[in-house]
Chain A
Amino acid sequence: MQAQTLYEKLWSSHVVHVEDDGTALIYIDRHLVHEVTSPQAFEGLKLAGRKPWRVDSIVATADHNTPTDHWEQGILDPVSRQQVETLDSNIREVGALAYFPFKNERQGIVHVIGPENGATLPGMTVVCGDSHTSTHGAFACLAHGIGTSEVEHVMATQCLLQKKSKTMLISVEGELGAGVTAKDIVLAIIGRIGTAGGTGYAMEFAGSAIRSLSMEGRMTICNMAIEAGARAGLVAVDDKTIDYLKDRPFSPKGETWDRAVEYWRTLHSDEGAQFDAVVELDAAKILPQVTWGTSPEMVAAIDGIVPDPALEADPVKREGMERALQYMGLKARTPIAEIPVDKVFIGSCTNSRIEDLRAAAEVARGRRKADNVKLVLVVPGSGLVKRQAEAEGLDKVFVAAGFEWREPGCSMCLAMNADRLEPGERCASTSNRNFEGRQGAGGRTHLVSPAMAAAAAIAGHFADVRTLA
């Protein structure tokens, strides 16, 4: 048989029907649901008198609107509260395999709770009305974000209409330097290929540097595939994948586990498989990254400077850079390490897992945040992550450093709850998007790794975590 890529294996094992022009119906195994992109879908189903096709494919949680403090007060914003209550009542009416509502001990960011509960398994197709669904590709799932019409379509038919993507291999070989993390790898990739570099592709991450990462690190990389334009990111199954999933609540057990593992071991690109595009990076050359602009591709290494738009030949790009510098309140050629920060956010579906919190705590241990830093928010990705971090004493390290230890949720990644930047405030953030207004109207976001975010909190400006005094 012809050598296949991992994407081709996942695709061909889910095709139900193909139209003449290649548009395919693909079967969906797991449907993750949250409160923001589902109400109109539930309403659409109801209006059409349709029932969900397979309720036990649904795993739901409330994460975008939920507050991260004073849970005893409930959700104060009435509009946010209505959205969360709408999800409650929709799930009550329709059902689900699992629902982790606001305040549940296993509630959390939808892309954190899927894997940690074993609800994300290799070989699945996973969809969610959220672009960061690409995260689940770390488990060799075909996972991508969909719109609300598609949420309704999947609920009604258990299928999605799709065109097959092209395939891109991103190979990162070599050893990462100390203090360089998965976040730095993926920011470096986006810096190389641009935010539209992966448009139309499913992106497989491979190479010794990717294999050396934990599952948490691989999730960070796949999470930001969408920031490189690719709807889906993928990593092949190996021992780490299987070890991670063993004994999770929804992972298979006993004999079924053995059968599953046998199948999962086939989920990798075959030797000699052909990709439509290949990008190679040398891990040893990647330094800690900091974004300086309003698109994730506007990124530099910590020892770099803010680039000068005058040197850009393409007029559309040059204007984009000028506009970004104006919005960000930055001058060309400013050394990255001299940019001060007002706030720090450690959290989001990119970087709120236990390993991320450990990395931030390691930097914060025995240190204090700088006086010019008004707020350092640490928001765990889920109730389970929170509990694990507290068992390890990480919460105490953060509090001793002057950081705030909060309840789980999406929080200041997109500022739908009360956690946000004020106009003009500058933030070192472990989230995934530095778009204008993303963390609050007029807010200025710089994307970094958890260790680099903690280093900025301590130094009061961006600082090289490898040489932090």
Chain B
Amino acid sequence: MKPFQKLDGLVAPMDRANVDTDAIIPKQFLKSIKRSGFGPNLFDEWRYRDVGQPGQDNSGRPLNPDFVLNQPRYKGAEILLTRDNFGCGSSREHAPWALEDFGFRVLIGPSFADIFFNNCFKNGLLPIKLAADEVDALFAQCHGSEGYRLCVDLQAQTITRPDGKVIAFDVDPFRRECLLNGWDDIGLTLRHADKIRDFEARRRIAQPWLFA
């Protein structure tokens, strides 16, 4: 996994609640057996005026000019502001894959759906939960000033606004360490292989029907 430490990045606002993973990456693109290449189809139904198909060349497709990420001022954005319950619905990890492939590294919102939140950390994507009024203020500043950037420091657990205000955020220490170092979860877990084997052996005796 790509490590994440610090980012000074352009911010784009996704100003709607309950953005589901079907919207982030529609089902037809889930037929891929690869982990990469989902970026051009991120928010496909909102972003284009036609219906996209897997394997298609997306460069000539008609864009929806009203869609926020199609606006020139947000080109190259690496930080996405979101509203409540972002990433709800399907557990498809293709959603964080698509966000990451598009270029996002940080999501900032008042709440995220559980499975999506978890999937982000497995892919070098940092979702940050802030109080609703802090998020409102970021949306207002972002809408109001072109080229709006934020500086996100995972080590310090801070977001610094252009006006100098520093916002602290929480993140699980274990997830933070993994993300800072780009550690592979599986490798970490296998350090406990003996414990897993012991647990399994006890379970096999206590509940043999689970091992039939």
Contacts and interface: CB of A to CB of B under 8 A. Distances in A.
Interface in A236-286: 250-252, 256-257, 259-260, 263
A225 B192 CA distance: 32
Contacts of B114: 199-200, 229-231
A156 B185 CA distance: 10
A320 B16 contact: yes
A468 B118 CA distance: 46
A162 B111 CA distance: 18
A256 B212 CA distance: 10
Interface in B76-118: 83-85, 88-93, 96, 111, 113-115, 118
Among A36, A124, A147, A436, max chain B CB count under 10 A is at A147
Nearest to A259: B209
Main secondary structure of the interface of A (DSSP, over half): loop
A435 B27 contact: no
Contact of B209 (A156, A252, A441): A252
Contacts of B131: none
B119 interface: yes
Contacts of B195: 16-17, 25
B51 A316 contact: no
Interface in B158-188: 172-175, 185-186
A323 B16 contact: yes
A196 B174 CA distance: 25
B145 interface: no
A149 B119 contact: yes
Contacts, number: 192
Contacts of A352: none
Contacts of B211: 56
B137 to A, nearest CB: 14
A244 to B, nearest CB: 16
B112 to A, nearest CB: 8
A220 interface: no
Contacts of B208: 256
Contacts of A263: 207
Given A50-B186, A196-B85, A320-B18, A441 B26 contact: yes
Interface string A63-106: 01100000000000101101100100000000000000000000
Nearest to B185: A153
Contacts of B186: 48, 50, 152-153, 156-157
Contacts of B122: 147, 149-150
A121 interface: yes
Given A27-B200, A121-B210, A147-B115, A37 B93 contact: yes
B17 interface: yes
B33 interface: yes
Contacts of B20: 295, 433, 435
A150 B91 CA distance: 11
A437 B45 contact: yes
Given A157-B186, A229-B85, A319-B16, A416 B207 contact: no
A257 B208 CA distance: 10
Given A79-B54, A250-B212, A252-B212, A17 B192 contact: yes
Given A43-B33, A50-B186, A37 B91 contact: yes
A435 B21 CA distance: 9
B142 interface: no
Band of interface residues on A: 35 or more
A123 interface: yes
A319 B84 CA distance: 13
Contacts of A129: 91, 93
A14 to B, nearest CB: 9
B31 A157 contact: no
Interface in A132-161: 144-150, 152-153, 156-159, 161
A327 to B, nearest CB: 10
Contacts of A146: 91, 115, 118
Contacts of B34: 40
Given A40-B34, A83-B31, A157-B186, A23 B174 contact: yes
Interface string B7-46: 0000000011110101100111011111100000000010
A161 B20 CA distance: 24
Contacts of A323: 16
Interface string B134-163: 000000000000000000000000000000
Nearest to B118: A147
A196 B113 contact: yes
A29 B31 CA distance: 28
Given A43-B33, A159-B189, A161-B189, A123 B89 contact: no
Nearest to A128: B91
A316 B16 contact: yes
Given A48-B186, A152-B186, A159-B189, A414 B27 contact: yes
B88 A25 contact: no
Contact of A86 (B33, B51, B93, B115): B33
B17 A317 contact: yes
A16 to B, nearest CB: 5
B91 A441 contact: no
B33 A40 contact: yes
A114 to B, nearest CB: 14
A82 to B, nearest CB: 7
A415 interface: yes
B55 interface: yes
A436 B16 CA distance: 13
A124 B210 contact: yes
Interface string A16-41: 11011101010101000000110110
Contact of B89 (A37, A79, A157, A435): A435
A416 B30 contact: yes
11 contacts: A16-B192, A21-B172, A23-B174, A82-B31, A130-B91, A149-B123, A156-B189, A195-B18, A196-B88, A199-B85, A436-B23
Q: Top 7 nearest A-B pairs by Cβ distance?
A: A252-B209, A147-B93, A149-B122, A147-B119, A39-B33, A145-B91, A196-B85
Given A16-B196, A23-B175, 10 more contacts: A37-B93, A146-B115, A149-B93, A153-B186, A157-B186, A157-B196, A163-B172, A199-B85, A250-B212, A437-B45
